[in-house]
Chain A
Amino acid sequence: MKYIIIGAGVAGFAAIEAIRSIDESGEITMISDDPHGYYSRPGLAYYLTGELHDKALYPRTQVDYKKLNFKYLRGRVTQILRSEHALEIDGKSRLTYGKLLIVVGARAIPLEVPGAKLTGVVKLDHLTDAQNILKLAKRGKTAVVVGGGITALELTEGLLARGMNVHYLLRGDRYWSNVLDRNESKVVEGRLQAEGVELHYHSELKEIIGKKDRVSGIRLGDGSTIKCDLVAYAIGIRPCLELVKNTDLNIDRGILVNEHLQTNDPDIFAAGDVAQVYDPMSGRSVLDSLWNPARDQGRVAGLNMAGRKRAYLKSPPFNVTRLAGLTTTIIGAVGGGRDDDVIGIARGDSETWRQLPDAIAAQGGFDANHVRILVGEKTLIGAVVMGDQTLSIPLQKMVAEKMDISSIHDKLLAPNAKIADVVADYWSKHVATA
C-alpha cells in the first residue's frame, strides 16, 4: 500500500506511527512545504519567551525517522486528482497514492485593515513566523498586540520577555470573554498589567501606519494613535481548505469526516485542525484546535488507513495553557456568549467549550489560585483550574468519565462553599474505593 500524508504536524506524525504499527512494509511519504518539518508548534510560545532554544522544539531525531521508514518530501501539493489517485506537486510532478491523509492544519485569519501588509505586521503560525518575530523584536522598542485567546497572550508574553513595551488592544471590556468568566479575565489582565503590559479596552485597530514599508504606528477607532515598531495579531484561525476546494470532498468550516476520520472519498482521510470531526455522542461535527485531539485523530486515521477499523471517540475537550504566567486548565464546557477579539475559533480552542448546557457555576479560591466548576444535575460539565493544578487531574477525570456527583451536588452549590475541599474530599473517597 502507498500512503501519502500531506502536512507535517503532530496528526501526521501520529498517523505514521500508527500505520507502521500495522503495516511494516507499505510505502509512506510525508509532504510539507514547511522548511522545518515536524516540530512542536505549541512550543513556539516558549521559544518566544526564551525558555527554549529552537533546536529543542524537534521531538524526534533522524534515527527515529529512519526507524519509522518513511520519506519526507519538501514541496507543495497543488492539486488532488481524485480520479487518478494522484497528487500534483509544485504544479509539475505527480505522485500516486493508495490512501491519502490531509493534515494541513489551520492558519491565522489575516488582518484586514490598511497597512496590514507592512513589514513588522506578524502572526504566529509557524516556526518561521516565530523566528521573524524575534528578529523584529531585537530592533524594535514597542509592540501592539491585537486579538484574543491563547495565541494573543503568547505573543504578548513573548514580546515582553524580549524587552519590548507591549500594548494589548481589546475590543470589549475583558480578555477571552467567551471562555473565562469576569473574575478570571480580571486575574489575567491584572497580571499582565503588573508585568508592564498596557491594556486598551474598547479599542479597535483601524489602520497600521507605515514609514518606508515598515510599521511605525497604529490608529485606533477613536482616532488616537500609538507609535510602534511591530503589530502582532491573533484574531482567530481558519482551516486551510484551498487544496480541497475543487475536489468535491465535503467541506463545511473544515473538511467533514466521519468517526473513522474518513472523508466522502473512502481513500481520503483528514485529521487535526483542518478536520471537522463527527462526534457520535452529540451528533454534531465540530472544529477543535487542540494538540492532543490532533494526535489522537492522526493515530485513529492511520489505523483506519492501514485497514484496522477504529472509531475516534471525542473526549471532552481539555487544554492546559499558561495565561500571564498562570498555568490554566480548561475542561469540558465552561463558557458562552461572544468574544469580539476572535473570529471563529482560536488556536488551543474548542467549539465545545462554548456549548454550555444547563449548569450552575460554583467557584472557589482567590486571585491566582482559582477553581470554577460547572455543576450539572448529576455530573460536572466543565471546569477551569488556574494556578495550583492539584485539582485539575481529579476534575479532568470527573468530567471525562461523567462521574456521579449527586452526593456533593448541594455542597458544591451552597453559599460560600469551599469547592476545592468538597472536590478533594469526594476524590479521596473515590480513590479509596476504586
Chain B
Amino acid sequence: MSFLNIFKSDATRHTAIYSGHVVPDSARCVQCGICSYNCPIGIDVRAHVWRDEAVINSECLTCGECVTRCPRGVLRFAQTDLFERRGE
C-alpha cells in the first residue's frame, strides 16, 4: 500500500549499515543535545544537524541511539549519496 512506499527512503537499520546514514530534518531541531549525549562513540550529532548535514562519519555505528532518543523526530536513517550533503 502507498503507506509503505512513501517511506521507502526510511531504510531499516540493516540497510543503513551498508548504505545509509543518519540524516536530519533540521527544522525540527532545537539543539537540545540528547543525540550527542547518547552517542556511544561521542559523535557530535547535534553539530551536524545545525549545519543541516547527514552524519557522515566513518566511526558512526548506525546503532540508532540518536534516532530513537531524539524527542522531536529530527533524525532518521536514509540512504545517502556520499557526494551530496543531505542525501534527499
Chain A residues close to B by CB (< 8 Å): 10, 40-43, 45-46, 51-53, 56-59, 291-292, 318, 320-322, 327, 329, 389-390, 392-394, 396, 420-421, 424-425, 427-428, 431
- Cα A40 to Cα B6 in complex, Å, equals 33
11 contacts between A and B (CB under 8 A): A40-B33, A41-B30, A43-B33, A45-B32, A51-B69, A53-B37, A58-B33, A59-B33, A292-B27, A318-B27, A320-B74
Check if B2 sits within 8 Å of A421, measured CB to CB: yes
Chain B min CB distance to A127 (Å)? 12
- Cα A392 to Cα B74 in complex, Å, equals 11
Among B3, B10, B28, B33, the residue within 8 A (CB) of A421 is B3
Chain B min CB distance to A411 (Å)? 12
Check if B6 sits within 8 Å of A52, measured CB to CB: no
Check if B37 sits within 8 Å of A56, measured CB to CB: yes
Check if B31 sits within 8 Å of A43, measured CB to CB: yes
Among B33, B47, B71, the residue within 8 A (CB) of A56 is B33
Check if A10 sits within 8 Å of B31, measured CB to CB: yes
Chain B min CB distance to A153 (Å)? 12
Also in contact, A320 and B73, with CB within 8 A (given A46-B32, A56-B37) = yes
Residues in B with CB closer than 8 Å to A43 are: 30-34
Also in contact, A425 and B37, with CB within 8 A (given A46-B71, A327-B71) = no
Chain B min CB distance to A307 (Å)? 24
Judged by a CB distance under 8 angstroms, whether B72 is at the interface is yes
Binary per-residue interface labels of chain B (1-33) against chain A in the complex, 1 for a CB within 8 Å, 0 otherwise:
111011100100000000000000101111111
Judged by a CB distance under 8 angstroms, whether B36 is at the interface is yes
Check if A420 sits within 8 Å of B3, measured CB to CB: yes
Also in contact, A51 and B6, with CB within 8 A (given A321-B72, A322-B72, A327-B72) = no
Check if B6 sits within 8 Å of A424, measured CB to CB: yes
Residues in A with CB closer than 8 Å to B37 are: 52-53, 56
Chain B interface bracket (under 10, 10 to 19, 20 to 34, 35 or more): 20 to 34
From B37, which residue of chain A is reached at the shortest CB distance? A56
Residues in A with CB closer than 8 Å to B34 are: 43, 46, 51-52, 56
- Cα A66 to Cα B50 in complex, Å, equals 18
Among B27, B29, B30, B72, the one with the most A-chain Cβ atoms within 10 Å of its Cβ is B30
Residues in A with CB closer than 8 Å to B10 are: 390
Residues in A with CB closer than 8 Å to B74 are: 320
Also in contact, A431 and B72, with CB within 8 A (given A292-B27, A320-B28, A421-B1) = no
Check if B6 sits within 8 Å of A389, measured CB to CB: no
Chain A min CB distance to B54 (Å)? 15
Closest 8 CB pairs of A and B: A43-B32, A42-B30, A425-B2, A428-B6, A56-B37, A389-B73, A320-B72, A56-B33
From A348, which residue of chain B is reached at the shortest CB distance? B30
- Cα A322 to Cα B32 in complex, Å, equals 13
Chain A min CB distance to B41 (Å)? 16
Residues in A with CB closer than 8 Å to B73 are: 320, 327, 329, 389, 392
Check if B33 sits within 8 Å of A322, measured CB to CB: no
Among B5, B28, B69, the one with the most A-chain Cβ atoms within 10 Å of its Cβ is B28
Q: A43-B32, A320-B28 are in contact. List 7 more A-B contacts (CB 8 A).
A: A46-B32, A46-B71, A52-B33, A56-B33, A292-B29, A389-B73, A421-B3
Also in contact, A428 and B30, with CB within 8 A (given A46-B71, A59-B50, A322-B72) = no
Chain B min CB distance to A317 (Å)? 11
Chain B min CB distance to A434 (Å)? 11
Judged by a CB distance under 8 angstroms, whether B86 is at the interface is no
